[in-house]
Structure 1
Amino acid sequence: MVARECGYADVAHFSHRFDATHGVAPGSYRLSGGGRCLAHPGIRRLERLVWG
């Protein structure tokens, strides 16, 4: 599970923190094909964990 691999206890906490940090929910980010979030350091590793 991506949330646990990123150090979060559950998906809800991961989703909340992702949204608070990047201004978009993880699902919306995925559906949009990415975007400005990719400029954030470390997000490329997260993207590989989430979407392979």
Structure 2
Amino acid sequence: MTGITNLNQFRKQKARAEKRAQGDANAAKFGRTKSERDLETARKEKDRRDLDGHKRET
């Protein structure tokens, strides 16, 4: 015979595994690497500096 199985624990374990799988799928679909985020931040900062450099004094 097998041991006693707690169905509540089994249900919760299955739900956690499904959430983890969904999270991994979302990370692959929508996630960006740290280098991509840093590159975007640097580009935005450079664009802001370039735009501010073209402003006229009033």
TM range (shorter): under 0.3
TM-score by length of 2: 0.25
- Which is richer in helix? 2
Larger Rg: 2
TM-score by length of 1: 0.28
The structure with higher relative contact order (CA 8 Å, sep 6+) is 1
